Chains A and B, each alone.
Chain A
């Protein structure tokens, strides 16, 4: 073994300094361009950040695959969750005529929309696949109001960075960044396969984010919050999912 030479010592020192400086600069740039997810901390933070940053660079505007009508699954799987609360059952009994979607946060006009209000906005129909993190999937036609149209109607402010969406079940909420919120295929869905969206599939109103796994498509949505930070909501991870180890960004 030869002793470490001075040249080697200086080179390694310079390389280490350059590495640390490079990483710090990279983190700053990534933060500026919105490439750091809310769940960037912890043991798996590096992986979540790499995945989110890579997808934001690669896929900000790309469209999820849409399928021909003949590929709609004859046997879709609802993965039924019991619709929560007595309040939900009362809504169900009245055909969801009193169902409201309230919108607040960084918007010009805080609003509460009924289902007919939503349907009066420009709507979109698309045949996309629901992909569960467990591995199964099905294809259905989804009809709904693009979240983008709702954000336009309520006047979302330019500093908005996330849209947080809440289900009737207070423990079930999630959030997406503006790339997905403004994406034309992100729908507040009220129709499925030419009919109303069944309760088992999330009716009367479900957020569908087809470029992410199924767990981002929260059922029974009643409330949207537009915000520039999710730090103050729940544990500040953008969703309860990261508490169970599931990535906030589920586009993989």
Chain B
């Protein structure tokens, strides 16, 4: 159904077919007053944005105090690293090859990191519970039946790489690549970054030793935490790039006010809906 709807929309140009285009085209056309994103999605999205930037900044500061990564249980400046970041350190005990030591910002960075982690995790819990309750995951994020193929996935990717403008339907619903990216972030990367972070807590490890042992040890947990954070940063960069390409104003409006389209556009659309 989804694919059929889209083919119609790309073959026609008129306003009237905007409604032929929703990715999940089954059912009656949505009420134009229905927000693009629910209040829970919008509020949790922006709290997560703030928490993520705080985690990123403080995480970078913490890494600067020891920009060496190891594998296994233990690792320190006397043992061989898995890899080293080519940056100076905020500790004079770390051999970096640089002739100077950066200012120590670890104190507030660590406090900010853990407080933001609490904010992100609690916000994530609210989001996940509410989304299970409302069916948000199944309705808006799980790929629609016609899209559960590699072909559907690559079609969207190819369109994106050709820099084709987004379809109107994509202002109202996610395409299959977006859905898979968001599901990966929500159900793979966030759980992994929480797990690898908790595995570095000596108190948590005393209660749940498997949390760190299953990752191959404390230094492996730290290295994986760094790598998963890198993937989250990569997602952020691609996500913001796509928002800009798809239309920064309308997408931001959608996530802030809940309205993807201006009132004038909605009126036109509403008129077009009933010829």
Interface residues of A, Cβ cutoff 8 Å to B: 43-44, 46-48, 50-51, 55, 58-59, 62-65, 67, 71, 73, 75-77, 79, 129, 131-139, 210-213, 241, 244-247, 251-252
Smallest CB-CB A-B distances: 7 pairs = A245-B107, A47-B115, A251-B203, A44-B111, A136-B76, A252-B201, A77-B76
Contact B206 A129 (CB under 8 A): no
Closest to A139 in B: B74
Q: Are A134 and B204 in contact (CB under 8 A)?
A: no
6 pairs, CB–CB < 8 Å, chain A vs chain B: A55-B204, A65-B212, A77-B78, A211-B206, A245-B106, A247-B111
B32 within 8 A of A: no
Chain B residues lying within 8 Å of A246, measured Cβ to Cβ, are: 106-107, 110-111
Asked if A245 and B111 make an inter-chain contact with CB atoms under 8 angstroms apart, the answer reads yes
Q: Which of A51, A71, A211 contacts B202 (CB 8 A)?
A: A211
Classify the interface of chain A: helix, strand, loop or mixed. loop
Asked if A76 and B76 sit within 8 Å, CB to CB, the answer is: yes
Would A77 and B107 count as touching, CB distance under 8 A?
A: no
**Once the chains bind, are B114 and A51 in contact (CB under 8 Å)?**
yes
What total of A-B pairs shows CB separation below 8 Å? Answer: 129
Contact of B93 among A51, A79, A244 (CB under 8 A): A79
Contact status A44-B112, CB under 8 Å: yes
| B207 and A58 contact, CB distance less than 8 A | yes
Given known contacts A129-B202, A247-B114, what 9 new A-B pairs fall within 8 Å (CB)?
Answer: A48-B115, A58-B207, A73-B76, A75-B78, A76-B78, A77-B78, A211-B202, A212-B203, A245-B106
Task: Kindly list chain B residues whose C-beta atoms are within 8 Å of the C-beta of A211.
Answer: 202-203, 206
Given contacts A76-B76, A252-B200, contact A247 B218 (CB under 8 A): no
Query: Is there contact, CB below 8 Å, between A136 and B112?
Result: no
Which B residues touch A79, using CB under 8 A? 93
- Residue among A43, A46, A245, A252 with most chain B CB within 10 A: A252
CA distance A247 to B91 in the complex (A): 19
The reply to whether B111 and A75 contact each other, CB–CB distance below 8 Å, is no
Q: Give complex CA distance A137, B79 in Å.
A: 10
Q: Is B209 part of the binding interface, using a Cβ–Cβ cutoff of 8 Å?
A: yes
CB distance from A212 to the nearest CB of B (A): 6
Known A-B contacts A134-B106, A135-B62, A252-B201; A63 and B114 likewise in contact (beta carbons under 8 Å): no
Q: Are A244 and B107 within 8 A (Cβ)?
A: yes
Q: Across the interface, do A46 and B115 meet the contact criterion of CB distance under 8 Å?
A: yes
Residues of B within 8 A of A75 (CB): 76, 78-79
- Chain A residues near B79: list those with CB within 8 A: 73, 75
Main secondary structure, interface of B, reads: helix
Shortest A158–chain B CB gap in Å is: 25
CB-CB nearest in chain B for A250:
B202
The number of chain B residues with a CB under 8 A from chain A is: 39
Restricting to B158-214, which residues have a CB under 8 Å from any CB of A? 200-207, 209, 212-213
Residue B219 interfacial (CB < 8 Å): yes
Is the beta-carbon distance between B75 and A134 smaller than 8 angstroms?
no
Q: How far is the CB of B205 from chain A (nearest CB, A)?
A: 6
Asked if B115 and A44 make an inter-chain contact with CB atoms under 8 angstroms apart, the answer reads yes
Give the CA-CA distance A64 to B76 in the complex, in Å.
20
Q: CA A210 – CA B75 in complex, angstroms?
A: 17
Of all chain B residues, the one with the shortest Cβ separation from A80 is B93
B108 A59 Cβ-Cβ under 8 A: no
Contacts A245-B108, A252-B201 known; A62 to B78 CB distance under 8 Å? no
Shortest beta-carbon distance, B150 to chain A, in Å?
40
Contact call A251/B114, Cβ cutoff below 8 A: no
Any chain A CB within 8 A of the CB of B66? yes
Cα distance A62–B218 when bound, in Å? 18
**Among B68, B73, B77, B111: residue with most chain A CB under 10 A:** B111
CB-based contact B203/A252 at 8 Å: yes
Q: How far is the CB of A199 from chain B (nearest CB, A)?
A: 17
**Measured between alpha carbons, how far is A79 from B93 in the docked complex, in Å?**
8
Q: A252 and B62: CB pair below 8 A?
A: no
Interchain CB contact under 8 A, A137 and B75: yes
Q: Which of B76, B93, B106, B204 has the most CB of A within 10 A?
A: B76
A129 and B73: CB pair below 8 A? yes
B65 within 8 A of A: yes
Docked complex Cα distance between A245 and B68 (Å): 23
Chain A residues, CB < 8 A from B91: 134
- For residue A48, which residues in chain B have a CB less than 8 angstroms away from its CB? 111, 114-115
A246→B112 CA distance, assembly (Å): 10
* Closest-CB distance, B196 to chain A (whole angstroms): 13
Q: Would A64 and B205 count as touching, CB distance under 8 A?
A: yes
Tell me the smallest distance from the CB of A134 to a CB of chain B, in Å. Answer: 4
